[in-house]
């Protein structure tokens, strides 16, 4: 062996060349990487080092030896020498290639592995407001049952908010609806005075005045009451009301419609039950309870252990209401047609569905709360 690491050649005979190349071959066989390329993985850096060590154009061992030997070789030995170098080179390349073709790529790519447990870079989604989401859900159910959407003004007249809904002036039923009024109305006749609507029911009247029967509308909207705020009360809240008027509409239809809607909203196992109630604009009037969708009726915290949750007010449209409407639409003859109306609090339903404890959160704009609906 010489100082520059080039093995010495004993001679140029075929046998002597074979012996020299066998020695080179055994040196290669001792290279860890060459061995490893058959099985156990090596990093791409190690493989590249190995390739450069043997095949590198400048410092590669094969290049160095072939340069040295070919230079010294007599002309007739150059060809057999060249053939043997090519064989050896092919062997190394084949090994490198086979590694790249199979486990090699995986090995190399594994070396580029990253920590996928780091959280994603997430673009913030806008979140739809839970009340809007709930409102859309409820409205959608009734749209599929043939109801059109109706809306009306938030500032109403006393006539539409009260009188035409059979709340006569000075009637005790008005006490149940603490009303915010627009300033400076005192000199107007009572029925023209402006107030913040306390329910979306005025839209029932406005719709019937515009449209002869049959009518099926669902009315979502914001309403206001002069109510001090607490965990379950807000001066602002949202309602969805519905109205169905036609020939032959019955209390049984009202029951069936709401039973169906509640099953759509809370799941098909939900049951409904109806209790007599009082609303000036419906008669008979009812409160509707649904079997608790959380415990199936067994009793839990959400239903205060009763198994039932009160959710709706409803009833058959009072003939007196048709009487008011008839002043503009004579088709609403209570002797010929009949109808039902119902209403529900969107806030209450949203709070129940999503487990919201404070109604005030819905009107706060607090992103820590709202983001949860994204």
Partner 1 sequence: MRILSNWIREYVPGIAVSDRELADDLTLRGIAVEGVFDLGAHGSLFEMDITTNRVDAMNHYGIAREAATIYGLPLKAVDASLPPARTGARPYPVRIEEPKLCGRFTARVLRDVRIAPSTGIVAERFRLLEQKPIANAVDATNYVTLAMGHPTHAFDLDKVEGGIVVRRARKGEKLKTLDGVERTLDPDDLVVADEKKALALAGVIGGWDTMITPETKNVLVEAAWFDPGTVRRASKRHLVHTDASHRFERGADFNAPPVANALVSRIILESGGWIEGDLVDVVAPEAEARTAKRASIGFRVSEVQRILGPTDDEQGITAAAAESILTGLGCDLSSASDGQAVTLPSWRLDLEREIDLIEEIARVYGYNRFRNTLPPFAGSVVELPWAEKEAAVRGTLLALGFTEAISSSFCGAEDAALFAREPGSAVAIGNPLSEEAGMLRPSLVPGMLEMLALNLSRDVDDAALFELGTAFSGSPENGYARVEERPALAVGATGQALGSGDVDFSDMKGAMEALLGRFAARSVYFDRFPAASGLMPAWLHPGRSARAAVDGATVAWFGQLHPAEAERRKLKQTVWVGEVWLDRLYKQDPRQPAVRELSRFQAVRRDFSVLLPERVTYAALSSAVDALAIPEIQGYAAKEVLRGGRQIPEGQYSLLLGVVFQSHERTLREEEVQQWSREVVGALEGMGGKLRG
Q: Residue 292 touches which of Zn ion, partner 1, none (CB < 5 to 8 A by kind)?
A: Zn ion
Candidates 293, 294, 253, 295; CA nearest to 274 is 253
Phi, psi dihedral angles at 160 (to 5 degrees): -75, -35
By beta-carbon proximity to partner 1, the closer residue of 60 and 313 is 313
Q: Residue 300 touches which of Zn ion, partner 1, none (CB < 5 to 8 A by kind)?
A: Zn ion
Mask of contacts with Zn ion, 193-222, x by CB under 5 A?
------------------------------
Binder of partner 1 out of 99, 107, 203, 249 (CB under 8 A): 249
- Per the structure block, which two tokens stand in for 362? 């819905």
d(CA 283, CA 244): 14
| Angle between helices 44-55 and 75-99 in degrees, nearest 10 | 170
Q: Residue 303 touches which of partner 1, Zn ion, none (CB < 5 to 8 A by kind)?
A: Zn ion
Residue 363 interacts with partner 1 (CB under 8 A): yes or no: yes
Residue 216 interacts with partner 1 (CB under 8 A): yes or no: yes
What is the edge-to-edge ordering of all strands in the sheet holding 148-149?
148-149, 215-224, 236-246, 338-345, 308-317, 282-291, 272-279
By beta-carbon proximity to partner 1, the closer residue of 170 and 330 is 170
Binder of partner 1 out of 52, 91, 111, 194 (CB under 8 A): 194
Candidates 271, 199, 291, 196; CA nearest to 238 is 199
Residue 303 interacts with Zn ion (CB under 5 A): yes or no: yes
Residue 91 interacts with partner 1 (CB under 8 A): yes or no: no
190 CB contacts (<8 Å, ≥6 apart)? Answer: 158, 163, 169
| Angle between helices 61-72 and 44-55 in degrees, nearest 10 | 10
Sign of the CA dihedral running 104, 105, 111, 113:
negative
Residue 227, preceding peptide bond in cis (omega within 30° of 0): no
Stretch of 12-20, 71-79, 97-105, 152-160 lying at the interface with partner 1 (CB under 8 A): 152-160
Residue 154 interacts with partner 1 (CB under 8 A): yes or no: yes
Q: Residue 357 touches which of partner 1, Zn ion, none (CB < 5 to 8 A by kind)?
A: none
- Dihedral of CA atoms 345, 348, 351, 353 in degrees, nearest 10, equals -80
Stretch of 6-14, 242-250, 266-274, 303-311 lying at the interface with Zn ion (CB under 5 A): 303-311
Residue 349 interacts with Zn ion (CB under 5 A): yes or no: no
Contact 215, 241 (CB under 8 A): no
Residue 300 interacts with Zn ion (CB under 5 A): yes or no: yes
d(CA 233, CA 3): 95
By beta-carbon proximity to partner 1, the closer residue of 74 and 248 is 248
By beta-carbon proximity to partner 1, the closer residue of 79 and 136 is 136
Residue 118 interacts with partner 1 (CB under 8 A): yes or no: no
Ranked by CB distance to Zn ion, the top (closest) residue is 292
Residue 271 interacts with Zn ion (CB under 5 A): yes or no: no
d(CA 264, CA 257): 11
Binder of partner 1 out of 124, 301, 355, 357 (CB under 8 A): 124
Q: How many amino acids of this chain bind Zn ion (CB under 5 A)? A: 6
Contact 261, 268 (CB under 8 A): no
- Per the structure block, which two tokens stand in for 271? 């049951």
Q: Which of residues 265-294 bind partner 1 (CB under 8 A)?
A: 273-278, 283-286
Q: Which of residues 24-53 bind partner 1 (CB under 8 A)?
A: none
Stretch of 10-18, 68-76, 79-87, 168-176 lying at the interface with partner 1 (CB under 8 A): 168-176
Stretch of 246-254, 283-291, 298-306, 353-361 lying at the interface with Zn ion (CB under 5 A): 298-306
**What stretch of H or E contains 76?**
helix 75-99
Q: List contacts with Zn ion (CB under 5 A).
A: 292, 294-295, 300, 302-303
């Amino acid at each position: 062996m010489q100082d520059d690491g080039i093995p010495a050649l004993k001679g140029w005979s075929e046998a002597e060349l074979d012996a020299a190349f066998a020695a080179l071959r055994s040196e290669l066989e001792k290279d860890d990487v060459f061995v490893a390329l058959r099985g156990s993985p090596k990093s791409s850096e190690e493989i590249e080092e190995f390739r450069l060590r043997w095949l590198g154009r400048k410092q590669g061992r094969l290049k160095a030896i072939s340069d040295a030997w070919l230079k010294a070789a007599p002309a007739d030995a150059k060809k057999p020498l060249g053939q043997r170098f090519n064989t050896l080179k092919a062997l190394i390349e084949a090994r490198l290639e086979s590694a790249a073709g199979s486990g090699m790529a995986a090995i190399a790519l594994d070396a580029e592995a990253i920590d996928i447990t780091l959280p994603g870079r997430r673009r913030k989604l806008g979140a739809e407001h839970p009340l809007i989401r709930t409102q859309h859900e409820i409205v959608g159910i009734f749209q599929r049952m043939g109801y059109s959407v109706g809306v009306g003004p938030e500032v109403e007249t006393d006539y539409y908010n009260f009188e035409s809904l059979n709340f006569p002036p000075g009637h005790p039923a008005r006490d149940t609806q603490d009303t915010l009024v627009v300033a400076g109305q005192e000199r107007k006749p009572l029925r023209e005075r402006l107030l913040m609507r306390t329910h979306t029911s005025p839209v029932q009247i406005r719709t019937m005045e515009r449209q002869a029967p049959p009518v099926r509308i669902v009315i979502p909207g914001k309403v206001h009451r002069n109510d001090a705020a607490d965990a379950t009360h807000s001066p602002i809240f949202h309602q969805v009301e519905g109205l169905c008027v036609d020939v032959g509409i019955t209390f049984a239809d009202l029951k069936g419609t709401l039973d169906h809607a509640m099953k759509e909203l809370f799941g098909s196992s939900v049951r409904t039950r109806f209790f007599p109630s009082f609303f000036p604009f419906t008669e008979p009037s009812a409160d509707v309870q649904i079997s608790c969708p959380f415990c199936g009726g067994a009793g839990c915290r959400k239903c205060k252990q009763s198994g039932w949750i009160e959710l709706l007010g409803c009833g058959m449209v009072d003939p007196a209401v048709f009487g008011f409407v008839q002043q503009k639409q004579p088709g609403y003859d209570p002797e010929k047609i009949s109808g039902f109306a119902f209403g529900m609090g969107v806030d209450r339903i949203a709070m129940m569905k999503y487990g919201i404890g404070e109604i005030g959160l819905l009107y706060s704009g607090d992103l820590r709360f709202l983001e949860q609906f994204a």
